Amino acid sequence: MIPVAFHYIRARDIPDALRLLREGGEDAKLLAGGHSLIPMMKLRLATPGTIVDIGSVPGLAGITHDGMRIAIGALTTHAALAASRELQEHAPALAQAAGELGDPQVRNRGTIGGACAHGDPSADYPAVMLALDAAFTLTGEAGTRDVGADAFFVGMFETALSAREVLTSIAFAAAPNSAYVKFHHPASGYPVVGAAVNLTLAGERISAARVALTGVGDAPFRAHAVEAALTGAAVTDAARLDAACRAAAAGVDARGDAFASAEYRAAMADVFVRRAVAAALQPR
Ligand SMILES: Cc1cc2nc3c(=O)[nH]c(=O)nc-3n(C[C@H](O)[C@H](O)[C@H](O)COP(=O)(O)OP(=O)(O)OC[C@H]3O[C@@H](n4cnc5c(N)ncnc54)[C@H](O)[C@@H]3O)c2cc1C
């Protein structure tokens, strides 16, 4: 289908983008890589009157690591994240998610900022962001605020971003024992179930764990009971690790569709959490 008519404006910088959003009124929308917004416009599920293109705003793409925290600019493409040696070593869950997402065309145009701002309950990154305990920097005309991943993903296509804010960067502590694994939908490639795990090790034991899932319910979520059960486990105690990964989707209304029933998704949540734990414990 063809989208409804719209005005297209390219923003020079963030203040310019914020001004254009305000002037565009209620139905103005930001455009980054266009790989979620344009398909929605073609289906007329989104009908913005004004498109504010931030794709060439300088300073919004790139990965920095100061030894402790890693910061990712919102315009960083999936391909750049997948190829980053820094991430492969210090936050492998994110590099793995980026490398498994979509196809080469999507990975070369789509951005992490657009993917997170879109709030798709079946997207890959939300689980990774929850597992990494990422902080999202949101800039509006009134100033800048940081929102933790636990508060950022609110529900189906809903995030903490207001219509007048730009997501500028995402930051998190290095997570060398992290991993993301997914059950690809055979047609779309989106996760039927995606599991992200971030383990902190103290010698041979897990001293802290963050475990999150996407694709299962109406929003990404943390598997708190699994996190608690993993904490304190010896990395060599296969039986305890296996038992800890059970009922990962407990308390969540799993979605069912023509491809996978709710029961199947919930069962696969356990399988993929177990695989993610094993991957996070692989020696590097
Ligand atoms: C064929 C195909 C396969 C795909 N497969 C997968 C997959 O397997 N897994 C997956 O997770 N995703 C998948 N995607 C989605 C892909 O990851 C998109 O790149 C991503 O969802 C959106 O990023 P974008 O930069 O293209 O954003 P856009 O489409 O430009 O924008 C998406 C939304 O975010 C808003 N936005 C964009 N940037 C910002 C910002 N900085 N601040 C505030 N709001 C912003 C826009 O206004 C819009 O509402 C697929 C897409 C396609 C077309």
- Complete DSSP assignment for 28-41: EEEESS-TTHHHHH
Higher per-residue confidence, 113 vs 4: 113
Q: What pairs with residue 147 in β-bridges?
A: 136
CA–CA separation, 162 vs 23, rounded Å?
A: 15
Task: Give alpha helix (H) positions in the chain.
Answer: 14-24, 37-42, 78-83, 85-90, 92-100, 104-109, 112-118, 125-132, 149-152, 224-230, 238-244, 262-280
On average, the pLDDT of the chain sits at 96
Instruction: Enumerate residues 6+ apart whose C-beta is below 8 A from 224.
Output: none
123 lines ligand 1 (CB under 6 A): yes
What is the Å distance from ligand 1's center to 222 Cα?
22
What is the Å distance from ligand 1's center to 65 Cα?
24
- Give mean pLDDT, residues 215-227: 95
Delineate the domains of the chain, giving CATH numbers in brackets.
7-53 (3.30.43.10), 63-173 (3.30.465.10), 178-281 (3.30.390.50)
Residue closest via CA to ligand 1's atom 4 equals: 102
Are the CB atoms for 115 and 214 separated by under 8 Å? no
What is the Å distance from ligand 1's center to 76 Cα?
12
- Mutation test of ligand 1: which of 42, 109, 118 has the most ligand atoms closer than 8 Å to its C-beta? 118
68-109: per-residue pLDDT in tens?
899 999 999 999 999 999 999 999 999 999 999 999 999 999
Ligand 1 atom with the smallest distance to the CA of 161 is 43
Give the alpha-carbon dihedral of 46, 99, 127, 247, to 10 degrees.
120
Instruction: Enumerate residues 6+ apart whose C-beta is below 8 A from 37.
Output: 29, 31, 46, 48, 51, 114, 118
110 lines ligand 1 (CB under 6 A): yes
182 lines ligand 1 (CB under 6 A): no
Q: How confident is the model at residue 232 (pLDDT cuts 50, 70, 90)?
A: very high
CA–CA separation, 154 vs 171, rounded Å?
A: 19
What is the Å distance from ligand 1's center to 283 Cα?
33
Say whether 178 sits in a helix, a strand or coil.
strand
19-34: per-residue pLDDT in tens?
999 999 989 999 999 9
State yes or no: pLDDT of 201 exceeds 90.
Answer: yes
Per-residue confidence (pLDDT) for residue 269, from 0 to 100: 97
Instruction: Return the beta strands (E) in 190-229 as ranges.
Output: 191-202, 205-214, 221-222
State yes or no: pLDDT of 134 exceeds 80.
Answer: yes
Are the CB atoms for 44 and 3 separated by under 8 Å? yes
